[in-house]
Amino acid sequence: MEIYKRFWKKYKLLFILATSCVFFEAVCDLLQPTIMSHIIDNGVRSKNMQTVLSLGLVALFVTLLGAVFAVTRNILASKVSQSFGADLRYELFKKIVSMPISNVDKIESGSLITRMTNDTAQVTQFYNGLMRIFFKAPLTCIGSIILAVSINPKLSIILFIAIGIVAFFIVNSMRMSYARYIKVQRAMDKVNTVIQEYLMGVRLVKAFGRFKDEENRFEAVNEQLSDTNISAQRVISVFSPLMSLTINIGIAVIIYLGSLMFTKKQVQVGQIVAFTNYMTQILGSLMMITNVFNTFVRTKASTERINEILSQKDEELQKSDKVCNFAGKVVFDDVSFAYPNGSGEPVLKNLSFRIEEGETIAVIGPTGSGKSTIAWLLLGFYNATGGAIYIEGKNINTIKKEDLQISVAPQQSMLFSGSVAENILWGNKDASKDELYKSARIAQAKEFIEKMPCGFDSILGQGGVNISGGQKQRISIARAIIKNAKVMILDDCTSALDAITESKIKQGLKELDKKQTILMITQRIGTAMTADKILVLENGEAVGFGTHEDLMKSCGTYSDIYESQIGTDGEKYA
């Protein structure tokens, strides 16, 4: 119910108006059999055409009035439910944006997409049904029972027996459906995850010719979803006909007993017709109530999954310190870290080093030594499991994200749908055109951008699919430059560039603020040699920290890397 409470104040007036229309519509439906009973008993039997015409007009007016209420509640229900759905999706997206990266990793993107789409649609549909049929079904059912009992209490015994049996079926249907619908949503998560992974790696699939493997992988999760859905629907498929059978047997018994009572003049024909109509309305209402409960069961599963996201703590709520006069001084003090959803083995172990304002520090080491993890910790994506990171003397865990004046060009360049200019200005939306061009020039991107059909206004496909890997990296570097942050992280972001282009970018970076601190994560010895100091990592530990000359004398790991690259980058920078 927490989801509905969030938006109750905003939509309660329209919601109450819609449910009021449902009430009056149900009243109009309930009046029909009673009016029909009077037409038969007081008009047709006595051959009084005046009564037939007058009551017929009343029945017509009641039908038209019911139709007006039905149209009104449909319009209101659609407006409220769709607005509610839009608000819920926005709240979910806002929450996902503010969630810690570790929580996003744990839930997985495929599941988050399912909750944003499928689960939200299910809740929206339930909210719509709540104002359209969910209130009408019990009102019609209760009203039909009361009016049927008032017509003939003796025949009502059959009615109560039938309702008791149907209630038993409904309870068992709910009990058996709930667990199955939870499995349906989880199976949907897996399908979305497989689709998303294929679309993200479609080029790799084509390159390795793994179409059949991907088809088999999708077929497995798709069949699991199908089987789970069939299992959930089987419950309804069994219980719904049983409920219809129970009510129809009840109607047959009532007609039979009614005919016996009619011969004994204990009941009139119109009353039997009215009673039968009320039984039919009860049948329809009970079927709707069954659908209501089945929808409720499915919605309950979706609601719990949505609440799991909405109940997550915002990482920003725990951060309150404000950094004044932000410079670029960074300290790693005995930092250890293990990924929350990993094997539990530390990726970084007792790491300590210091970066002064305006320094350029390179981080180098074998693959898997924890180089990129330093960037993620410095950006506040994860909290250190041991030790602490300080910026300007304040623990990074207490600093709000907007106060962290850090830009990053990541290892895997991520571009967004939109123009080239929009992607670069993503780093600083208030930057001028001169700053835009300067950032692109320093990143060695201006020349190829101007050759594109519309220059800086050229549209990029999703993820920058219509440009090369090297062009993506240069746009990503321009985005990091234009932010003009006090600390800039270059996380192996020149891997797709040739040595000459990379050298030009490094020369261009010298045009930036002399007080800007630059952290370069790299696997190229030539890139590392241009830094003021070099941090050497191996198996998550610092095995060296100093200048190139110092490390060549004191650090075996560094000298091994240098030797391995002689004749390529190392030879050029030696």
Secondary structure of residue 534 in the 3-state scheme? strand
On whether the CB atoms of residues 488 and 518 are closer than 8 A, the answer is yes
Distance CA 149, CA 275 (A): 9
3-state helix, strand, coil in the chain (%, to 5): 65, 10, 20
Distance CA 60, CA 32 (A): 9
Find where tokens 């219509």 sit. 466
Q: Which of 281, 288, 329 is nearest to 516 (CA)?
A: 329
Distance CA 105, CA 304 (A): 19
Contacts 24+ apart (CB under 8 A), 8-15: 10/87, 11/80, 11/83, 11/84, 14/76, 14/79, 14/80, 15/80, 15/131
Judge if 420 and 566 occupy the same domain.
yes
Q: Could you list the pLDDT tens digit for every one of the 574 residues in the chain?
A: 566 677 778 888 888 888 888 888 888 888 877 777 777 766 666 677 777 788 788 888 888 998 999 899 889 888 888 888 888 888 888 888 777 777 777 777 777 887 888 888 888 888 887 777 777 778 888 888 888 888 778 878 888 888 888 888 878 877 787 778 778 878 887 887 888 777 767 766 766 677 788 888 888 888 888 888 888 778 777 877 887 788 788 878 877 887 888 777 777 777 777 778 877 787 778 777 777 777 777 787 788 888 888 887 765 544 555 555 566 789 999 999 998 877 778 999 999 999 988 889 999 988 888 898 999 899 888 888 899 999 888 888 888 777 778 889 988 888 888 899 999 998 888 899 999 999 999 999 999 999 998 999 999 877 777 888 889 999 999 999 998 888 899 988 888 888 888 888 888 888 776 778 899 998 888 888 888 999 999 988 999 999 999 999 899 889 888 888 864 444 444 4
Distance CA 101, CA 315 (A): 9
CA distances from 432 to 60, 437, 447, 487 (A): 70, 9, 19, 21
Q: How many domains does the chain have?
A: 2
H/E element holding 332? strand 330-337
Judge if 452 and 492 occupy the same domain.
yes
- Torsions phi, psi of 11, nearest 5? -115, 5
pLDDT of residue 43: 67
**DSSP category for residue 321:** B
Judge if 440 and 475 occupy the same domain.
yes
pLDDT digits (tens, 9 = 90+) for 240-294: 788 778 878 887 887 788 788 877 777 777 777 777 887 778 777 877 777 777 7
Judge if 438 and 558 occupy the same domain.
yes
Residue 287: give the domain boundaries: 2-315
pLDDT of residue 326: 60
Say if 323 falls within a structural domain: no
pLDDT of residue 477: 92
Q: Count CB atoms within 10 A of the CB of residue 320.
A: 9
Judge if 391 and 302 occupy the same domain.
no
CATH of the domain at 185: 1.20.1560.10
Judge if 401 and 257 occupy the same domain.
no
pLDDT digits (tens, 9 = 90+) for 136-160: 778 888 888 888 888 778 878 888 8
Judge if 246 and 338 occupy the same domain.
no
Q: Which of 76, 87, 69 is nearest to 8 (CA)?
A: 87
Q: Which amino acid is at 316?
A: E
Distance CA 419, CA 442 (A): 19
pLDDT digits (tens, 9 = 90+) for 211-225: 788 888 888 888 888
pTM over 0.75: no
Q: Which amino acid is at 227?
A: D
On whether the CB atoms of residues 443 and 511 are closer than 8 A, the answer is no
Burial of 555 (0-12, 13-18, 19+ CB in 10 A): buried
In the chain, the N- to C-terminal Cα span, in Å, equals 68
Judge if 308 and 336 occupy the same domain.
no
Distance CA 510, CA 501 (A): 15
Judge if 336 and 473 occupy the same domain.
yes
Say if 252 falls within a structural domain: yes
Judge if 304 and 347 occupy the same domain.
no
Judge if 246 and 160 occupy the same domain.
yes
Judge if 303 and 340 occupy the same domain.
no
Tokens of 246: 């129970």
The Cβ-side half-sphere exposure at 230, using a 13 Å CA radius, reads 6
